[in-house]
Structures are given as structure tokens and as C-alpha cells.
A and B are shown apart, each in its own frame.
Chain A
Amino acid sequence: MASLRERLEGVLKELKGVGDIEASAIVSRDGLLIAADISQSVNAEAFAAMTATMLGAAETATSELGKGIPDRVIVEGKEGKIIATGAGPKALLVVMTAPKANLGLVLLEMSKVSEKIRELLG
């Protein structure tokens, strides 16, 4: 049977190529890399830490305003987008896409995948 890590990596592979997704990672809420499908040249550990801080800060900011917990954080730039969303209480899912990615499709796939991650990690 595949190890948990292999199963998580398998889940990330499903995302590859969907609506211009270029890279993806599963990160613990506190900023540690759990699994990634990212090119070797990226400092994946630092990317993981930044993403967790980003989502954590966004969640704190909105809940301070009484607006509840946000569903996701989307960062848009000329070179691409970064989208981070919760995947259960322990982890979050983040993807990087090409600039013209079909956001609707990406979000739909992300919500399916984050549900799977939630089931795997509890």
C-alpha cells in the first residue's frame, strides 16, 4: 500500500495541468512543507512558510473584523497567481498558476482536492 506521503503526492498530481496549474503544495498550518509538486529551483520550504503566514494573517485579519474565516487567499500578479485555501484543520493547499488561468476551474479542482487532503490527514 502506498505511504501517506505517496498518496498526498498522488493527489497533487491530479492537479497538474488542470486550468494552467503549474505547481502545488500541501503545507501544514504552521508553515512546514508536507508534500509538493514544485520545480527543484524553488525554495519550497520558504514558499511553504510564506503561504502559511499569508493565509494565517488573512484569517486573523478577517476574523478580527467579524467577517469570519475566508475561504481562500488569491494573489494575482502579472507573472501568475497564487491561491491558498484550507484543507482541514491541520493543512492548507496552495497552487501557482499561469497569469491567464481559468480561475473557476482551478477553484473547483482545489476544493475537491482539499477535501481529499482533509480526509487523508484528518
Chain B
Amino acid sequence: MRLGIPVLDELLGRVPRGKTVTYSIDPEVEGDVFGMQTLYMNLEEGYECAYVTSTMSPESIRNRFKEFGWSVDDFKNFSIVDLYSRYVGAISKERYVVEDPTNLKEIDRIMSRAIEENDLIVFGSLSTILDVCGNETLDYFEEWKDLSKKCVIVSNFTVWPYPNEVLGRVMDLSNAVINIGGIHHRVVLGHYYGILKVDWTDVRGRAVLFKVIKPGGVRAYIPKILVTGPFNAGKTTFVHAISKEAISVDRLGTTVALDHGKVEYKGFTIDIFGTPGQERFDPILRVLGGEALGVILVVDSTKPETFPRAKQMLEKTTKFGLPYVIAANKQDQPKALKPDEIRRLMCLPDDVPIIPTVATEGKGVYEVLDALISLLIGGGYGKLEGKA
């Protein structure tokens, strides 16, 4: 089974049966979509999945899924553990109904059955059950965890200001904890997730920014990748080649302001900013350079005389040790230099990826993106290196 969340799937691989995974959610972030996405992705895989609702009626939950484009009712392998309806005195037709949702023994009886009969249980809000039934909930949770040899339990847990021993206990009872939080100190107000703990594989990835898209769900988000390089190297062509949607402010065949592209790739949403190449526009480079998370330097492989300028642009845009990759463009031309020659002429360290591209034909452009993403995500996105 997989979590169905971009990047986490690459880093964590398959979740072995018998494991519990907790999405530990900052109250300021609408994080319930994480558990829902995990459930839906596994429904599509054909696993028997049950969603435990304690905060919303089954109907509202179904509508909530629909907001993201997920019609759970099309799946026979979907069921709901209803901890809500009887709480508000409503009638429930769900497969699993708890008659008295304030009574842990009663919940336990139904949960045991659900765990027995499903491959995946997702708690829509474990914290709410804790709020209603008290700390004893976690004793039962431990039993469910022991019971679930064949099943994976995934929980959304909103981190209200609980006592530390409660939070510590939740952490201990989880084989993996994914932290979902908000960022306030930067100009960009974003949300991120990162792996806090995992015990079946040896990775600790960096935090990933994300966006929630309706429909679509959780997308890893990279708000700015800069595409820069000398005049006429093929930056604008490159941006258009990788983007689903792109616009450029070009006049007389050269970029006078910027290129902007939206990329959808491997669960990532990326905003790409292409810069002008000519020196007279360098003030714009300064305007656009801020807050980039990575740089793609496009060079015309047939023009070594432009490499010093390329190097200068790289220095202007990667001041703080920002990760970068080189697109050795125009490889369709007979005079094009090979990546190794470019590395030597530009005096670039051995570990800087230099990737041959033909932007006009879209060749190699996604390899460039792969290389940069793997530098950005660290922890060995793509090829697991086990580095933090």
C-alpha cells in the first residue's frame, strides 16, 4: 500500500501491513485531505478501505471527497465507520455504525470488526475521538494497532495544545509521522509537510511545500524555479517545452521582461520564472531572483564564448548556495560541446548535473527537472541516498 502523496511515496515506498501512519496536522492547516487522499488512492488500487468519521455526517464526508474529484461511492471496496450519526441522533445506513460514539468499548467492538475486514483504515480525525472519549482512547488505539497485522491504519491528528505525554504517546504509537504545518516567517505564506519519523526505511527527507487543488488534492509545490542563462541560449523555448501553460514577454525575438510557466509533473506543481539573457536587463534578474528554490542554467552548447557570461549569471542567482543544474542546450547542432567539455570549460564541480537538451524538440527537458527536484528534495528523491 502507498500513501498516495507526492514525494512521500518516492521516499517511503510501500507501507508494510501492520503499520500505523499519523498525519500530524497544525490546527491552522486544513490537513484532512491527506488522510482522504491516502484512502482514495488505495481505493483505486482495489484495497478494502474504511474511513472513520467522527466530525461530519457520512453524507458530508462523501461531498468532501467529491470536492477533490473523488467519487468514493463508485467503489464497492469503500465503507464508512460512522462515529457521527448516532452522536447527533441521526439514522445511519453505513456498514459500520457505532451506537454510542462516546463509549470506547462500543467503538472498540466495531473497530475490531473493521480492522478485521479491511486493508486500510483511515481515521478522519483521531484527535476528535480523543477529545470526546479522553486519553483512554490511546490505550484502545494501541490495541487496534496490535490487532492490525494485515491492515494499515492511517490517522489525521490535529495537534491542538495537548499535554506533552499525549503527543509523545501518539508519536510512539505511530510507525511513521508526517508533520503538516504552516510557514509564517517568509513572505510566501505556504504549507509544508515533512517526515518526522519512519521505522521501516532509512530516510529523512526535507520538508516539501504543498498546495491543495480542487479537484486534484495534495500537490507538492515549488513556488519558484529560475531559468536563466546567456542571450539566445534557449531559455524561453525551454520554459515553454516543460510547461502546461506558459507566457513570455518577448519583443523582437528576445525576452524583455520574463517567461512564466506552470509545470505539472510527478505530483508537483511548479512555477517557473525565465529571465532575460541580455545584460541590459540584469536589473530584472535582481527583481525576479528572490526566493527561488533552485536554478536551471541554460547554455548554448555551440557557443563556449558565452560561458563566462553564463557563469556570471549563475553567481548572480545562486548567491546562497541554491541548488542548480545545467541544461546543455542545442545538442542537435553539429558543433555542440558535450557535457564533460562544458564542465571543464566552465570549471564546474563534478557533482553538478549537466544534462544534454534540445529544447526545440523537448528532448532532455524533464531530465533536467528530475535532476533539480532530486537536489531540492534531498534525502535522495529518485535515488535513495539516506541523507537528511
Interface residues of A (CB under 8 A from B): 3-5, 8, 28-32, 34-35, 43, 45-46, 49-50, 52-54, 56-57, 60, 90-91, 121
Provide the residues of chain A in CB contact with B284, threshold 8 Å: 53, 56-57, 60
| Cβ-closest chain B residue relative to A27 | B187
B257: contacting residue among A32, A50, A91, CB under 8 A: A50
Nearest Cβ on chain A to B344's Cβ, whole angstroms:
34
Chain A facing B: main interface SS: helix
Knowing A49-B273, A57-B284, A121-B187 are in contact, say whether A43-B290 is a contact too (CB < 8 A).
Answer: no
B223: contacting residue among A32, A56, A57, CB under 8 A: A32
Contact B258 A49 (CB under 8 A): yes
Knowing A28-B188, A32-B223, A121-B187 are in contact, say whether A50-B290 is a contact too (CB < 8 A).
Answer: no
CA distance A60 to B281 in the complex (A): 10
| Cβ-closest chain B residue relative to A63 | B283
A-B contact count (CB 8 A): 78
Provide the residues of chain A in CB contact with B245, threshold 8 Å: 43, 46
Report which residue of A8, A29, A91 has the largest number of chain B beta carbons within 10 angstroms of its beta carbon: A29
A91: contacting residue among B28, B187, B260, B283, CB under 8 A: B187
Q: Could you show 21 A-B contacts with beta carbons less than 8 Å apart? A: A3-B182, A4-B189, A29-B287, A29-B290, A30-B290, A31-B224, A31-B258, A31-B273, A31-B287, A32-B224, A34-B189, A49-B258, A49-B271, A50-B258, A53-B288, A56-B284, A56-B286, A57-B257, A57-B287, A60-B283, A91-B187
Provide the residues of chain B in CB contact with A56, threshold 8 Å: 283-284, 286-288
Knowing A34-B188, A57-B257, A90-B187 are in contact, say whether A28-B290 is a contact too (CB < 8 A).
Answer: yes
Knowing A3-B28, A49-B258 are in contact, say whether A30-B283 is a contact too (CB < 8 A).
Answer: no
Contact B287 A30 (CB under 8 A): yes
Contact with A along B181-201 (1 / 0, CB 8 A): 010100111000000000000
Report which residue of A5, A31, A60 has the largest number of chain B beta carbons within 10 angstroms of its beta carbon: A31
- For the complex, is B309 an interface residue (Cβ under 8 Å from A)? no
Provide the residues of chain A in CB contact with B271, threshold 8 Å: 32, 45, 49
CA distance A17 to B258 in the complex (A): 31
Contact A43 B262 (CB under 8 A): yes
